[in-house]
């Protein structure tokens, strides 16, 4: 049994970790932290967990955390994570960090998009936790940077194409739409029910969203050459789910048949990637609550473009489910352990 601590348990990703881990056969939740809710049972903050999770939220120092658990999910905001993780590692613990603090390998890029980095010495060591790309490195890591939700959906959609040179990398446009849980459990006017319900809007348009450099970093690795994309996030009036619609021009010599082969070879043994047929398109409601990433694509000969679509649950494959998948790899467990949830539809 792994003794696991959830640092930052009172946010949506923290609660989702608890939801998944309470049914995980190899895990015991032995610590859960919340500054705001210290002393309260986590199941009081999230009554959905009643009868399943009985941990009490505490406000714990790093030393206290290290006494309570061997493995940590840090589900705290960026900046907070970078100050916390070194202490955990120094005590010999393993960490999956769900913040942005260890995702970017280049400290200059990090500091351009976020703020000064206090633990940049770990940027090279940290593994980008997308198992479909970095499975082997994750298995041997003590620090895994769990990917952002938008990047997960876009990178998984494009990886087979970029690795094979099947698209013109400079033509990539990613139009992404996310459910409101992505904004976190933060009391702000813009996330109120009445502001979001029955509406739809773009935000942080034109190279303004902090997931941009993360996406470009990984696409650049895949393409073997620097990639710049257009990325537009939108806010959906749903709780969970990201759907990315990605456009790119096909490189010469690639047709539907070749593209099919690329995707099949790349993903046929992946437990959490589901390739749909030619005229079946992903829907967020068909991955809701699960760790699946559904992908399909369509080629338009008239414009020579491929349109790749991918759907994930941003709280699961885009955050807490992927984090558990990473933990499984780091402990040599079957990658799917505790992640058998079937999408909840309707």
Does 239 participate in binding a second copy (rule CB under 8 A)?
yes
Does 78 participate in binding a second copy (rule CB under 8 A)?
no
Does 77 participate in binding a second copy (rule CB under 8 A)?
no
Site pattern 118..157 for a second copy (x: CB under 8 A): ----------------------------------------
Does 302 participate in binding a second copy (rule CB under 8 A)?
yes
The reply to whether 293 belongs to the active site is no
Does 254 participate in binding a second copy (rule CB under 8 A)?
no
Site residues for a second copy, window 260-289 (CB under 8 A)? 274, 276, 280-289
Q: How many whole angstroms from its chain centre is CA 36? A: 25
Segment holding 5, helix H or strand E = strand 2-7
Q: How many whole angstroms from its chain centre is CA 14? A: 13
> Which residues pair with residue 71 across a beta bridge?
4, 94
The first and second tokens of residue 168, run together, are 């013109």
The nearer residue to a second copy, 116 or 208, going by C-beta atoms, is 208
Does 55 participate in binding a second copy (rule CB under 8 A)?
no
Smallest gap from Cβ 66 to a second copy, in A, equals 28
Does 305 participate in binding a second copy (rule CB under 8 A)?
yes
Site residues for a second copy, window 30-49 (CB under 8 A)? 46-49
CA dist 77 and 83 (Å) reads: 11
CA dist 24 and 20 (Å) reads: 7
Does 250 participate in binding a second copy (rule CB under 8 A)?
no
Residues with Cβ within 8 Å of 283's Cβ and at least 6 positions away in sequence, in order, are 243, 294, 311
Smallest gap from Cβ 286 to a second copy, in A, equals 4
CA dist 285 and 10 (Å) reads: 25
The interaxial angle of helices 149-163 and 256-267, nearest 10 deg, is 120
Does 19 participate in binding a second copy (rule CB under 8 A)?
yes
């Amino acid at each position: 049994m792994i003794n696991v601590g959830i640092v930052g348990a009172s946010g949506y990703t923290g609660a989702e970790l608890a939801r998944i881990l309470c049914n995980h056969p190899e895990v015991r939740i032995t610590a859960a932290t919340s500054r705001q809710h210290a002393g309260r049972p986590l199941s009081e903050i999230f009554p959905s967990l009643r009868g399943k999770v009985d941990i009490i939220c505490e406000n714990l120092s790093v030393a206290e955390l290290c006494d309570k658990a061997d493995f940590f999910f840090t589900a705290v905001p960026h900046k907070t994570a970078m100050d916390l993780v070194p202490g955990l590692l120094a005590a010999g613990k393993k960490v999956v960090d769900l913040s942005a603090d260890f995702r970017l390998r280049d400290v200059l890029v990090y500091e351009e998009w976020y703020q000064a980095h206090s633990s940049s010495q770990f940027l090279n060591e940290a593994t980008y936790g997308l198992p479909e790309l970095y499975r082997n490195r994750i298995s041997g890591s003590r620090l895994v940077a769990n990917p952002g939700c938008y990047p997960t959906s876009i990178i998984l959609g494009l990886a087979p194409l970029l690795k094979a040179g099947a698209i013109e990398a400079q033509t990539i446009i990613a139009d992404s739409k996310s459910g409101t849980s992505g904004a976190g459990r933060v009391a702000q006017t813009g996330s109120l029910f009445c502001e979001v319900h029955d509406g739809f809007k773009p935000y942080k348009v034109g190279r303004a969203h902090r997931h941009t450099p993360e996406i470009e970093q990984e696409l650049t690795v895949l393409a073997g050459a620097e990639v710049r994309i257009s990325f537009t996030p939108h806010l959906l009036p749903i709780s969970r789910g990201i759907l990315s619609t990605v456009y790119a021009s096909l490189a010469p010599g690639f047709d539907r048949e070749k593209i099919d082969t690329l995707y099949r070879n790349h993903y046929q043994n992946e437990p959490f990637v589901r390739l749909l047929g030619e005229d079946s398109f992903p829907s967020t409601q068909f991955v809701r609550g699960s760790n699946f990433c559904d992908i399909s694509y369509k080629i338009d000969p008239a414009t020579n473009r491929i349109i790749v679509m991918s759907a994930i649950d941003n709280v699961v494959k885009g955050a807490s489910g992927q984090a558990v998948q990473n933990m499984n790899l780091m402990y040599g467990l079957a990658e799917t352990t505790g992640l058998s949830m079937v999408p909840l539809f309707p």
